[in-house]
Amino acid sequence: MAPSWTFAVARDDLTRTVLVDRPAPDPADGEAVLRVDRVGVTANNVTYAVLGDTLRYWRFFPPEPHGLGPDHGLVPLWGFAEVVASRVTGVTAGQRLYGYLPPARHLVVRPGRMDPTGFRDVSEHRSDLPSPYNAYRLTTGDEAYRADEEDLLILYRPLFFTSFMLADHLVDNDCHGASTVVLSSASSKTAYAAAFELRDRGPRLVGLTSPGNVAFTESLGCYDQVLPYNGVAALDRVPTVYLDLSGVPATRAALHAHLGDRLVRDVAVGLTNQTPNADAAGEVFFAPAQMRKRTVDWGRDGLDRRFADAWRRFATIVTGWVDIRVGHGPDALCSTWLEVLAGRTPPRVGHVVQL
């Protein structure tokens, strides 16, 4: 097996990076080795690092097996990997999987709960972490998969899952009686995918974004109105739900001041600003919680089918909204990480790295 490597960041300073070489791992009994093939780098991954301690994201891929100390972290990425070695019945070399991956050449997993759709990593260190992040889906058992759409899945699937569950949660609760839903960071993929799902399902949709992103956000056609962040005073004073995807305290304060008791829900969804102010929100949306509810309501097959149907609708539209840039190798992974971390990536650009 080819040599391996790992890309890591300093947990106390995400701009400090390190690339270390190491021998390729061999699987023990009950283990399989995945070769990480193709991953995306988005603001969502920055969120994982910013909230790495609070929401335990650093625990998915401990640094010690990669020859690093606990002061370093492996930022979780979404993408595709292939099985290159296995000592597990039913998991064979050549299988291609989609899932949560480290910024490294290889990942050792302990497959369990196997079925035709894939398996879950039941490694001890992941046993008490949120179950959806431990699932590895076989491309052969995935209703949403199309070979020519891999890059779209890499960039959007985890975000779209959050957006799909967020929209479903609002509709499931009759939008808390609100007639308007306001989304910050409206030019972000998670926000406009949620708006796409909420379109024509009741509430008026208003996007808040930076002045430079207003034109792009309007061009998507997902929102009834797009305002710059300093335009909050133009909002109608009607019952409103605020979905905070930016984490900017000043925006929350301006909304509370303008809307008062007409702000019926203040929900932190994710952070693109690196300002963890979820404590200031009225509540925090966690997609796996709504997923668990819908798994009970619809069954796992029913949830998968509804997600695949929603993804098919979205995928036909989103190709016109994104320019995919593909980098190659660990150096590209490092430079892309620093660009996304600094917020220099235009909203229309999506970064994929072929490793």
Question: For the chain, what are the domain ranges?
Answer: 4-142+323-354, 158-288
- The residue-averaged pLDDT of 107-127 equals 95
Query: 4-142+323-354 maps to which CATH number?
Result: 3.90.180.10
pLDDT, position 273: 46
User: Is the pLDDT at 274 greater than 60, yes or no?
Assistant: no
- Strand, helix or coil for residue 91: coil
Q: What is the mean pLDDT of the chain?
A: 92
Cα–Cα nearest to 86, from 78, 95, 77: 95
CATH topology of domain 158-288: Rossmann fold (3.40.50)
Q: How far apart are the first and last CA of the chain?
A: 15
Q: Percentage of the chain surpassing pLDDT 90?
A: 80
- pLDDT score recorded for residue 278: 57
The partner residues of 20 in beta bridges, in order of sequence, read 6
- pLDDT-derived band at 75 (thresholds 50, 70, 90) equals very high
Identity of the amino acid at 149: E
H/E stretch holding 115: strand 111-115
Query: Residue 289: pLDDT above 80?
Result: yes
pLDDT at 280 over 80: no
Looking at residue 211, the DSSP 8-state letter turns out to be: G
Q: d(Cα 260, Cα 19) in Å, to the nearest integer?
A: 49
| Contact present, 220 and 214 (Cβ < 8 Å) | no
Dump pLDDT digits (tens) for 137-163.
999 999 889 999 999 999 999 889 999
- Is residue 245 within 8 Å of 182, Cβ to Cβ? no
Q: H or E segment at 260?
A: none
Q: Which residue shows structure tokens 């020859």?
A: 67
CA distance 224 to 320: 19
pTM: 0.86
pLDDT at 272: 47
